[in-house]
Amino acid sequence: MHHLKWKDIHMCSLPTNTEAVVFDCDGLLVNTEACWTVAETAIFAAHGQPFGPEQKALVIGRTVEGAGEAMAQYLGRPGAGAELAAELLERVRRELSRGAVALPGAAELVRACRAVVPIAVASNSPRELLDTALWSAGLTDCFTHSFAADEVRSPKPAPELYLTACEALGTTPQRSVAFEDSATGIASARAAGLYVAVVPSLQGADLDHDWLSTSLAEPALRDWARKLGVGTVR
């Protein structure tokens, strides 16, 4: 585990002989967290509860089912997890149908990495929402490999999504880099053995990382992508 200071974001510490790059989607590549937040806020409001950073931290990065269970516990409705998950899915589906855009620097970084090494998406969203998000942001054609939460036995924070992605890309996790935005996703990538680059969706969160920034548009990332294929893994 490497804890870098904010001043170090200008010196990208990710290995340049990385053999594969795996991206999270929601809140990292595509600005879908706004859609999720609208849906989550409505559910909390229906139960007379506010929805702010504390509540967002309970659900961010989780599967729909996991978020439903977390909301059920927080709202004092044990046993209602499946019902709340179904409501959340429907509300997010409705919000996503209006469109979501790629986050700053996402498309450029994805294309720069794809030009040199195999890339994939590993998302804790179900396939339906993942495809909608990538299509809406104009990123569908960038990925020949993508993996959704409902396609594995154990989604994030378990390592299966990242292990599956690395296997499909023909490399080992130890020679791969994951890009994440939440503690749940970071735990998954770390458990699988990948290097982890983090652009937090919730600013101020103390997250495990090998590299940390506030944006995928950070110039150090573009420099790193250009150097892929040279250097030595630490």
CATH superfamily of 6-31+100-226: HAD superfamily/HAD-like (3.40.50.1000)
The 10s digit of each residue's pLDDT in 79-122 is 999 999 999 999 999 999 999 999 999 999 999 999 999 999 99
The 10s digit of each residue's pLDDT in 145-167 is 999 999 999 999 999 999 999 99
158: left (phi over 0), alpha (psi -120 to 50) or beta: beta
The answer to whether residues 152 and 164 touch, using CB atoms and an 8 Å cutoff, is: yes
Bridge partners (DSSP) of residue 212 are 198
Percent helix / strand / coil, the chain, rounded to 5: 45, 10, 40
Give me the residues of the chain with pLDDT under 50, please.
1-10, 231-234
> What distance in Å separates the CA atoms of residue 6 and residue 215, rounded to the nearest whole number?
12
Whole-structure pTM value: 0.91
Q: Collapse the DSSP code of 169 into the 3-class scheme (helix H, G, I; strand E, B; otherwise coil) and give the result.
A: helix
Domain ranges of the chain: 6-31+100-226, 33-96
Type of residue numbered 191: A
Query: ∠187-14-156 over CA atoms, to 5°?
Result: 15
Task: Say what angle helices 81-96 and 127-136 make with each other, to 10 degrees.
Answer: 20
> What distance in Å separates the CA atoms of residue 197 and residue 221, rounded to the nearest whole number?
10
Q: Kindly give the residue spans of alpha helices, DSSP state H, lying in the chain.
A: 33-46, 53-59, 64-74, 81-96, 106-114, 127-136, 160-169, 183-192, 219-226
pLDDT > 90: percent of the chain? 88
- What is the predicted pLDDT for the residue at 211? 95
Q: Which of 154, 124, 7, 151 is nearest to 63 (CA)?
A: 124
Q: Which fold has domain 33-96?
A: DNA polymerase; domain 1 (1.10.150)
